[in-house]
Structure 1
């Protein structure tokens, strides 16, 4: 076997060891929102549209909050790599994070991430309610907005335990111990489905809440999964000594560093999520059927996207570790391996979308609702191509995070999404009369532009890192 292929396979196995449990965890997590979406659809097209609008707002704020604490995983991974390098006697670089490999430094990173999560969760909950009242001024159906408001009130508090969970998750992943995440998230799917059912229909001692019951179930599930992950980490002999809840002991310098790294990541995630949110609002202006079709297909895209998230996180942490010990060639190979894995999965998904679209869409629509179903079938064909670029741009963001180039990713998304994608969506959706299909083609254009620019910046960043080390 050629040496290059041998290295590629070895890199693939190493990447997969972390990416597979992360991707499965992401897929398990998205099963929560998929279950919610399916149950919304059972309540009718208006409920699906209202619930979809609520989820758009929630996901926008949740995603930005997650971005604030995402950098802690890279910081922990780099510190752990340098500690291992020191123990083996291999020379290591100082890295770009400035974090030593001592236990107290890692412990302080955990405290800082939990403090950031708390502040972001409170701010996000308030904003969620305010945005929910404001969307009626953006052309949304008043009946849909009225139906969404109670669900907004019940989902908003769930942002706080959701972000606590993410902070602890980044710590466990940075320490390369993500296995408990999958078990906990899988269990939460069954809990979420059960709570949804009893809170929607009023089974046993629970009140009949209808659509708002889904929002309450979501908040309860986030609280339970956070407690479960914390308990699991406390039982791990390697993680327990480092998991501190004493957020008042956070070093100001650590908080500033994480905030400095996390703010551009939050802005990057927010830029992407905001782009999708604006697209949803544009689609909503075409009516309830269009928003319902968009919600269903967007949920399918979101499901597949989780595979890229797993690959992105694994590649990002791998780049942080390799650059911490100045292994530039391995960092470059991680990019190639992650993209190849993503492309293989996307090709299979595209084939399924093209050959059995009605089977894919069946869980989301009543068979009598032909308008929304037919539109969703057409959107699936666009999604089949769109997902290649969507996954590539997410991997690109992760690769730049491995370089600690969090600001660069944000600037690229501003160009790709807002200067290219949004004008393209408006032009193709409204000026050409292609409506929802045109907006999705604009979405595809923005993602393709972003993916190209991110990979180009990563290649330049690795080259600059090597040049700085040689001088």
Structure 2
């Protein structure tokens, strides 16, 4: 009879098999956008302002587009659970996976086209939202170059979800790491016209990013074609997708996309509130928020891995195992966040040094505020990780609507009022806003995990669970 610790370690290893490459892939993708930002900064303040505005618009639509195809991995994982004793998919399961892949690519194409149009419309509309006309003029050609790249970006995400759903994520990390190097080289070449490349200036960064998305999509497709288990299932004939499957994926994807958009909007509003306290406060918030965002990629990896495993366990009617997955994912999150929290509290100056220079104007004030925010972040990131895992667990149940509704309550009805009240009425300013942020994330985490427990209990009552 295995002990609880033995079971936890065994489940933890199984979870890490998916979570680690997914988390590292997420970190590599962060490095991709960071490279673009660094290069813009080297080109000057005007380039950083205009290019940064273009990236904000593009990343918002990209994030929501990724949400549209995120549930594909869960659907593939559930379908691929039906295999014979030699772990070969049954004919029915094989047909279902092929249809999901076709529908996923069709949904990615439609989402990419709509998203590209919206990006360009927003690029024209920001001129009427009080933005500096020169910044808008600088951003427009970058947006024109970025918008077409959304389609191959979402194709890549659809194939990515297929590979992780089939529990074959290994190639993802290699391809994403290579894309960072290729993007840096293309940025340099297209900005200055190096080698045989044209000299495009700032828009070259947008062209580079779009090309990298196309190349990574092609690389992942080729990699999957070389995998004997994936190749027979990767059918790119999206026009053959069943309308019912496309509708199902759209119904699952829309709430996820809305959740991603809502979360991004929530953090944007928080930044605007903190901006009213001055430049030093906003600089401190930006620095600590970026640190939390980097660490958050661990939570994303755990969330996706737990979500896929829940889909698989429920397809096999192993409700007890699905319940254990929640505890395993949370235990792994606590372990990682505890280590990071200790670093935040013991060497805050070292952690903040890459982002803030105490010798710069207002740098000392910003560093003092950021040090206090790190103490809040040491606690906040536990709840941030837990709420992301909660969203993933519910996605494993195909319950994407509950996740969206709960995050609306946690972010906007609890977190935002708490942030404003603690920041202004309690006179805690930036620290108060972050305490409000912590409150909203904690409430969201509790509600999401509670909903997951209720949903599993309901399933267990309908049919007997298998351990």
TM-score (norm 2): 0.89
Structure 1 residue 303: Cα displacement? 1.6
- The CA distance in 1 between the partners of 2:370 and 2:127, in whole Å, is 24
Alignment-derived partner of residue 335 in structure 1: 326
Structure 1 residues 132-151: aligned runs within 5 Å: 132-135=123-126, 144-151=135-142
Structure-2 change in CA distance of 1:210 and 1:351 (3 Å): farther
Structure-2 change in CA distance of 1:428 and 1:170 (3 Å): same
Alignment-derived partner of residue 125 in structure 1: 116
Structure 1 residue 368: Cα displacement? 6.0
- The CA distance in 2 between the partners of 1:411 and 1:134, in whole Å, is 29
Q: 1:67, 1:269 within 8 Å by CA — same for their partners in 2?
A: yes
Alignment-derived partner of residue 395 in structure 1: 389
Structure 1 residues 364-379: aligned runs within 5 Å: 364=355, 369-371=360-362, 374=367, 376-379=370-373
Alignment-derived partner of residue 279 in structure 1: 270
Structure-2 change in CA distance of 1:355 and 1:3 (3 Å): closer
Cα-Cα RMSD? 3.0
Q: Paired residue for 1:239, among 221, 224, 230?
A: 230
Structure-2 change in CA distance of 1:44 and 1:345 (3 Å): farther
1:320 aligns with 2:320: no
Structure-2 change in CA distance of 1:87 and 1:125 (3 Å): closer
TM-score (norm 1): 0.88
Alignment-derived partner of residue 55 in structure 2: 55
Alignment-derived partner of residue 77 in structure 2: 77
Structure 1 residue 224: Cα displacement? 1.1
Instruction: Show CA shifts across 1:323-348 (max 9, x none).
Output: 11221221111111111111111122
1:410 aligns with 2:404: yes
1:195 aligns with 2:186: yes
Alignment-derived partner of residue 343 in structure 2: 352
Structure-2 change in CA distance of 1:336 and 1:271 (3 Å): same
Unaligned runs of 5+ in 1: 89-98
Alignment-derived partner of residue 219 in structure 2: 228
Alignment-derived partner of residue 435 in structure 2: 441
**2:317 aligns to what SS in structure 1?**
coil
Structure with the bigger RCO (C-alpha within 8 Å, sep 6+) is 1
Structure 1 residues 251-266: aligned runs within 5 Å: 251-266=242-257
- The CA distance in 1 between the partners of 2:405 and 2:83, in whole Å, is 33
Alignment-derived partner of residue 467 in structure 1: 461
Alignment-derived partner of residue 422 in structure 1: 416
Deviates further, 99-108 or 408-417: 99-108
**1:176 aligns to what SS in structure 2?**
coil
Matched length? 462
1:27 aligns with 2:18: no
**1:217 aligns to what SS in structure 2?**
helix
Instruction: Show CA shifts across 1:308-366 (max 9, x none).
Output: 11111111111111111221221111111111111111122223333444443444457
- The CA distance in 2 between the partners of 1:366 and 1:200, in whole Å, is 29
Structure-2 change in CA distance of 1:113 and 1:364 (3 Å): same
Instruction: Show CA shifts across 1:291-312 (max 9, x none).
Output: 5554443332222111111111
Q: 1:140, 1:285 within 8 Å by CA — same for their partners in 2?
A: no
Deviates further, 437-446 or 329-338: 437-446
Instruction: Show CA shifts across 1:395-449 (max 9, x none).
Output: 0001011111111101101101111122233334455565554443333322222
- The CA distance in 1 between the partners of 2:276 and 2:133, in whole Å, is 12
Structure 1 residue 78: Cα displacement? 0.9
- The CA distance in 2 between the partners of 1:462 and 1:16, in whole Å, is 23
- The CA distance in 2 between the partners of 1:46 and 1:379, in whole Å, is 29
1:268 aligns with 2:262: no
Structure-2 change in CA distance of 1:239 and 1:309 (3 Å): same
Structure 1 residue 216: Cα displacement? 2.8
- The CA distance in 2 between the partners of 1:214 and 1:358, in whole Å, is 33
Structure 1 residue 37: Cα displacement? 3.2
**1:22 aligns to what SS in structure 2?**
helix
Structure 1 residue 46: Cα displacement? 6.0
Structure 1 residue 115: Cα displacement? 0.8
**1:83 aligns to what SS in structure 2?**
coil
